[in-house]
Amino acid sequence: MTEKNELSVKLPKVRGEYKFSEPLSKYVWLKVGGPADVIFFPQDKEDLQFFLQNKPDGLSVFTLGGGSNLLVRDGGICGAVIKLQNDNFIAVPV
């Protein structure tokens, strides 16, 4: 896992919210899983786009939707988890 201070100074200034070392068990249906280095809650599509265009090089990114079909290991996820809020994003049929 990455240190909070090291990562927080490298992340772009966004309108959404960052949480560091946040347990992912709060965001998956089965309520299991360790922390993410950082979880990002974008305010809207433009905020998400800005983050993706300006994130630090080499920062791995994992996108989390509703969390219904996901098991997160106890060790958590290294890098950034983007938690998409249903209110702010439009689903596009595949």
pLDDT, averaged in runs of 10, over the chain (94 residues): 76 96 94 95 94 96 89 93 76 54
Tell me how crowded residue 60 is: count the other CB atoms within 10 A of its CB. Answer: 11
Domain boundaries, the chain: 4-85
| Domain 4-85 classification at class level | alpha beta
Q: SS3 helix, strand, coil % of the chain, rounded to 5?
A: 20, 25, 50
Question: What is the pTM for the complete model shown?
Answer: 0.85
